[in-house]
Structure 1
Amino acid sequence: MEIVKLNYLSRIPRFLILRLSMSRWLSSKLMRPQLLKMIGIKIGKNAHIGANVTFDTLDYRLFDIGDNVTITMNSVLLTHYPQISINGHMRWLTDKLTIGNNVFIGANTVIAKPVTIGNNVVIAAGSIVTKDIESNCLVGGVPAKVIRKFNV
């Protein structure tokens, strides 16, 4: 974990590319992953990124997305979270968000803090993920919990 240091001017070109990648007229298989790779997000082969998927803009290098991953529309992926000290001061901490291979993330899902999502995982639409998810399972709910495990 590291403390966030904000340098807004250097982030403007990346922010513009990120906003372009969110447009509905871009192909989710071809253009979006390529634009996101340009700003530093690590994306594996055969990734599908739906329209209006929001990636945290603090540090794009903290994302690691595996092969055969589908992130459907209106999902939000965050790599920062607040920490409040004893004296009441708040600071933002960042950490890595890792998504394994063969993962499907349903529409309107929020990954609310840095987590690790295992391989062969399905996250139901509208879920809020706040903890690590083991491999080979279906999760859903607010907060997301394991609904079923797969025998693979």
Structure 2
Amino acid sequence: IVSMIISLPIALGSAIYLNEFADPKSEFISVFRSAIEVLSSLPSVVVGLFGFLLFVLKFHMGFSVLSGAIALTFFNLPLLTRSIENYLAAIPNLQREAGLALGLSKWETTEKVIFPAAVPSIVTGVVLAAGRVFGEAAALLFTSGQSAPQLNWYNWNPLNS
């Protein structure tokens, strides 16, 4: 849940910028979209190791829920961004033109016309992304710590806990 709280505003802002305001011929946007595609293809073990090395060891956050949530945010962010961008692109241009014809600015058209029309699809994308993140265990095992207790291999008594 913490990962979704972190990643949803970032993904929403990125998707709105990429779909509504960015120049598609820009070199920066091309590199940004390529980075999103590369991040979305990373396996969860790689994201977990990255989170372990960066958040647990480098930033000294230790094995915590926050370090696990930030690692899962890197796993979740590309999926959310691409899905929200696709949902915004699915809104017909006629609605954009109608908002601009009524005298709304580009941002007001996005805020008052495009976004409300895309909310049902965005909610669907959030649920699908949450399902993907809730099913990931590798990233959490590396960053939030093992869920099993420390085993004493010298104690062979099965009745001793």
Report the TM-score when normalising by structure 1. 0.29
Report the TM-score when normalising by structure 2. 0.28
Q: Which has the higher helix share?
A: 2
